Amino acid sequence: MGGIALIDCEQEAKLIGSRLQDYFTPQWHCQYRIDVVNNQYGSEFNFFLDIKRQNHRERSIPLHSLKTTDLTVLERVINGVRQQTELTLNFIDFGHVRWPESQRWIR
Amino acid sequence: MDYRQEPHGLFFMIDNKSFYASVESVTRGLNPLKSVIVVMSEADNTGSGLVLAASPMAKKLFGISNVSRQYEVPDDPRILVVPPRMNHYIQMNLAVNRIFRQFVADADCFPYSIDESILDMTHSWRLFGETPEAVARTIQLRIRRELGLYTTVGIGENPVQAKLALDLQAKHDHELIGRLTYETFPEKIWPITNLKKVWSIGHRTAAHLQRLGIHSIGDLAKINPYELHQEMGIMGDQLFALAWGIDRSQLHDLRPVKEKSWSNSQVLPRNYSVQREIELVIWEIGQQVTSRMRHHRQQAACVSLSVGFAWDGKSGDGRSGMNHTRRINPTDNAQTIIATLLALFREHWEGQLVRNIGVGLSRLSASQQLQLSLFQDPQRQIKNDQFDRVIDELRDRFGKTAVIPASSLMPGGTMVRRAALVGGHNGGNSFD
């Protein structure tokens, strides 16, 4: 690619939301969670739907990869995702950092 | 044994430890050696699900092996199950090979499989370290640092030594490095009695060797090679060379394929017993193979059909399947080829349950202008020919499912669901 890759935050959030709709089928005794991983090796942010059912194997389904390391972009996408779902977001490997816009801790 | 005449190079055979599972661990921020992760394909034809890869910890704690079935994997909350993403693994394999190419010339890097590569380090290893082991360590650390993956390295003076060092030593070594030379070969390899563990020896060859009174690699090395040749033919020569760690292959002179052919096969999602359904799949695979061949501007003069029977539906005479071949006039026309396939099927099928279907096209030649047959309406023939090409073009431009025959929507059709798969498994999310 090279140069600045333009990422349409709204579009990305929508894509995550639509994939979530396909895989998220609420059931009893199940914990659902969205994992957001800061993947240092791939320079990308990965989204997974994590499903934990009591006494059963845990499942993790890939939702999307955001090809950027820019937290501002991620913050906007996350805001978009939060408007579509109430699921808990779990941030992995972000360290002790604040969001660039809202200045809250990432967690 | 006089090894002076044998090639003395330096070869690395590098493999990614539990490749698919490791890649999935890294994208989730987990350590590939510590995570308990299982990559499970739930494609239609894998039954309840098939384990494509298990992380080292999953193997150790739960005894899960690759190609385990879903029901063999314990329902334990410590296990994380993830779907495969074949396209992503291909990308990672390319990334790994890009790193290898920083240590050897492009011509000296030979990808061997999705997670293994052979590096001919003969000319370049001195640039990167004092000893071959140190160079191997450097490569391992580079890959760990840049991609997060762990690699296992087998070092040898020729490719086969490197492969055996990888399979038999490195995988059990703390540093994940193993090394064989002509001198150490007898000491390290000859005591092996489980012949199946050695590369290129499968369970049938192992049984054959056992029958000959060969119970270890040492026995194999000490047998009279002429007797072995008489018993096993050229495979005997190859095994004898293997037992002495000899490999004269020159990776740089690629051998041209003797005769190329095109083929596709698939395992069906369930046992098929209805003739119409089986024929539908034969039809679909026939279309697929013919279309691949047409892309290479070739035509076939030989059509083969292989049908595997369901495990419990073996024919009375104990056959597990059938293979039939027929010569035809060279053509790249799907209709003709499929008609031949169906004829073969109808002649030989006796109502067995079917689980596996494969189609092959061989005796290829460059496809020239359409050769009209005297016995058919020429306009019709030209139309048929153009029809195929238009379909090919549509699929190239708009994807494999842009146009599908309505019959593929009938019970038994597999084309639509398989279109999204890579190597028979989930390719991963598109637009990623």
- Laid out side by side, the sheet with B109-113 consists of B109-113, B116-120, B11-16, B151-156, B177-179
What's the mean pLDDT in B194-204? Answer: 91
**Which chain B residues are within 8 Å of A42, Cβ to Cβ?**
26-27
A39 to chain B, minimum CA–CA distance in Å? 6
Task: Determine what percent of chain B is predicted with pLDDT higher than 70.
Answer: 96
Closest CA–CA distance from residue A67 to any residue of chain B (Å): 8
User: Token pair 């020159």 is at which residue?
Assistant: B250
Position of tokens 């957001």?
A36
Token pair belonging to A71: 């937290």
Q: CA nearest A48 in B: which residue?
A: B28
Of B26, B38, B78, the CB nearest to A41: B26
pLDDT band for A3, please (50, 70, 90 cuts).
very low
Q: Where are the domains of chain B?
A: 1-178, 190-243, 262-426
Q: Which of A34, A54, A29, A58 is nearest to A46 (CA)?
A: A34
- Which of the following CATH numbers is that of domain B262-426: 3.30.1490.100, 3.30.465.10, 3.40.50.300, 3.40.30.10? 3.30.1490.100
Local confidence band at B251 (pLDDT 50, 70, 90 cut-offs): confident
Average pLDDT over residues B355-360: 92
Q: Is B7 on the interface with A (CB under 8 A)?
A: no
**Distance between CA B42 and CA B51 in Å, rounded?**
9
Nearest to A37 among B27, B79, B82 (CB): B27
- Report the Cα–Cα distance between both ends of chain A, in Å, rounded: 31
**Tens of pLDDT, residues B282-295:** 999 998 899 889 88
Distance of residue A46 Cα from the nearest chain B Cα, in angstroms? 7
B79 touches chain A (CB under 8 A): yes
pLDDT tier, B46 (very low <50, low <70, confident <90, very high otherwise): low
Residue type, A86: E
For position B127, what pLDDT does the model report? 94
| Chain B residues near residue A65 by CB distance under 8 angstroms | 27, 432
Q: What angle do CA B6, B10, B14 make, to 5 degrees?
A: 125
Q: Does B430 lie at the interface with A, CB-CB under 8 angstroms?
A: no
Chain B segment 133-172 residues within 8 A of A by beta carbon are 146-148
pLDDT given for residue B376 in this prediction: 79
Share in percent of chain A as helix, strand, coil (round to 5): 25, 35, 40
Closest B-chain CA to A64: B432
Mean of the pLDDT values across residues B113-123?
93
Model pTM score: 0.82
Are residues B156 and B180 in contact, defined by beta-carbon separation less than 8 angstroms?
Answer: yes
Taking the CA of residue A60 and the nearest CA in chain B, the distance in Å comes to 5
Q: Which are the contacts of B235, defined by CB distance < 8 A and separation ≥ 6?
A: B205
* Percent of chain A clearing pLDDT 70 (strictly above): 95
Per DSSP, the three-state class of B216 is coil
Task: Name the residue type at position B138.
Answer: T
* Segment B77-92 mean pLDDT: 93
pLDDT of A4 above 50: no
User: Residues B141-159, buried b or exposed e (16+ Cβ, 10 A)?
Assistant: ebbeeebbbbbbbbbbbbb
CATH code, B1-178? 3.30.70.270
Chain A touched by B29 (CB under 8 Å):
yes
Q: Which of A56, A61, A93 sits opposite B29 (nearest CB)?
A: A93
Q: Which residues of chain A make contact with B99, given a CB cutoff of 8 A?
A: none
In this structure, of B122-126, B128-132, B371-375, the range with the lowest mean pLDDT score is B371-375
The secondary structure of B43-66 as a DSSP string is -GGGTT-EEEEE-HHHHHHH---T
Give the pLDDT mean for B36-59: 85
Contact yes or no for B86/B432 (Cβ under 8 A)? no
CB contact under 8 A, B29 and A54: no
CB nearest to B85's CB, from A15, A38, A62:
A62
- Tell me what the mean pLDDT of segment A45-74 comes to: 92
Tokens found for residue B44 = 């239609």
Q: State residue B203's pLDDT score.
A: 87
Neighbouring-strand partners of residue B37 = B80
* B342, pLDDT greater than 90: yes
Q: Enumerate the residues of chain B whose CB falls inside 8 A of the CB of residue A38.
A: 29
A44 to chain B: closest CA residue: B27
Residue B204 main-chain phi, psi, to 5 deg: -75, -45
Sign of CA dihedral B222, B223, B226, B231: negative
Does B28 contact A60 at a Cβ distance shorter than 8 Å? Answer: yes
CA–CA separation, B412 and B247 (whole Å): 48
Mean of pLDDT values over B225-247: 93
Chain A residues within an 8 Å CB radius of B28? 35, 37, 46, 48, 60, 92
Sign of torsion over alpha carbons B389, B360, B51, B97: negative
State the average pLDDT for chain B: 89
- Residue A93 distance to chain B (closest CA, Å): 7
Instruction: Give the model's pLDDT for residue B72.
Output: 85
Chain B residue nearest residue A90, CA to CA: B28
Residues B107 and B119: beta-carbon distance below 8 Å: no
Whether B199 shows a pLDDT value over 60: the answer reads yes
- Determine contact: B206 vs chain A, CB below 8 A: no
Q: Stretch B365-383: mean pLDDT, rounded?
A: 80
Task: Select the residue of B73, B83, B148 nearest A41 (Cβ to Cβ).
Answer: B148
pLDDT in tens, B150-179: 999 999 999 999 999 999 999 889 999 999
Partner-chain residue, chosen from B29, B82, B431, that has the shortest CB–CB distance to A92:
B29
Mean pLDDT (whole number) for B231-235:
91
* pLDDT(A2) > 70: no
Contact B432/A at CB under 8 A = yes
Q: What is the pLDDT of residue B256?
A: 72
Say what the pLDDT of residue B323 is: 92
Told to judge if B116 belongs to the known catalytic residues of this protein, a careful annotator would answer yes
Q: Taking residues B385-408, what's their average pLDDT? A: 84
Residue A58, beta-bridge partner list: B80
Interchain pair A41, B147: CB under 8 A:
yes
Beta bridge partners of B50: B41, B69
Question: What's the rounded mean pLDDT across residues B386-401?
Answer: 85
Q: Which of B38, B61, B37 is nearest to B49 (CA)?
A: B38
Name the band, by pLDDT with cuts 50, 70 and 90, for residue A5: low
As a whole number, mean pLDDT of residues B286-307 equals 91
More confident residue, A9 or B318: A9
Does the beta-carbon distance from B81 to A59 stay under 8 Å?
A: yes
How many angstroms separate the CA atoms of B170 and B271, rounded?
A: 42
E strand residue ranges, B131-288? 151-156, 177-179, 262-272
Mean pLDDT for B43-61 is 84
Residue with tokens 């004092």: B130
Q: Which of B116, B157, B279, B284 is catalytic?
A: B116
Mean pLDDT of B306-334: 82
- The residue ranges of DSSP E strands in A1-107, in sequence order, are 30-39, 44-53, 58-66, 88-92
CB contact under 8 A, A62 and B77: no
Residue A15 has pLDDT above 60, yes or no: yes
Residue B376 DSSP SS3: coil
pLDDT band for position B37 (cuts 50, 70, 90): very high
CA distance B65 to B59: 6
- What's the pLDDT score for residue B419? 78
Looking at the predicted structure, is the pLDDT value of residue B305 above 50?
Answer: yes
CB contact under 8 Å between B432 and A64, yes or no, is yes
Of the CATH numbers 3.40.50.1360, 3.30.420.40, 1.10.150.20, 3.40.50.720, which one belongs to the domain with range B190-243?
1.10.150.20
CB B163 within 8 A of CB B154: yes
